[in-house]
Amino acid sequence: MKRMVIKTVGVLMIISLLFTGCTSIVSNSENKKIKETIDLVLSYDKGYDDTVSKYISKVNFNIVNYVSFYSTYLGDASLEKYESTIRSIKKENEKYRVCMVLNMVAKAKEVHGHEEERDEAEGENVPVEIVLTKNSNKYYIESFKEYESLDKAIENNKDFK
């Protein structure tokens, strides 16, 4: 009887591991550090330098940094508002997969021609998925994906629900 219980528990543990894969729960302190890293890189307004090079490559920085992104459309721009909310963080093997939603407002730094106000762009409920690794106690952004809309993100990725 005792052997049967041990076998059953063993089989259930193996089945559980197969269903959950190699994911693990991320601690609150890791969660906070990951969010701080992502927020720093996405909203950093001084261009690619030593501050952000610890967390992302130059090529990826130019893709994910929203100050650079909005400056492409508005001219020299600044983020007037940047807010982020994490929907989920999963650790899979040695990578962290983060699903989050951003709300941002960017404004051009200059008024052009006859305009009375600065140009403005707004990103509301912008869903992004970011993959990070951890090296020497620092998180490093490896990839970034922005979804077309929050509805599409929820439809395509259960971690946004």
For residue 52, what pLDDT is reported?
98
CATH of the domain at 62: 3.10.450.540
Q: Please say if the pLDDT value at position 23 is more than 80.
A: no
- Residue predicted with more confidence, 160 or 13: 160
**Residue-level pLDDT at 8:** 54
Tally of domains within the chain: 1
Q: Rounded to two decimals, what is the model's pTM?
A: 0.81
14, 18, 155 from 84: Cα distances, Å:
37, 33, 20
Residue 115 sits in which domain range?
23-160
pLDDT band with cut points at 50, 70 and 90 for residue 143: very high
Residue 9 placed within a domain: no
Give the pLDDT band of residue 83 (cuts 50, 70, 90). Answer: very high
Q: Is residue 1 part of a domain?
A: no
Average pLDDT, the chain: 87
Question: For 104-118, what is each residue's pLDDT tens digit?
Answer: 999 988 876 676 677
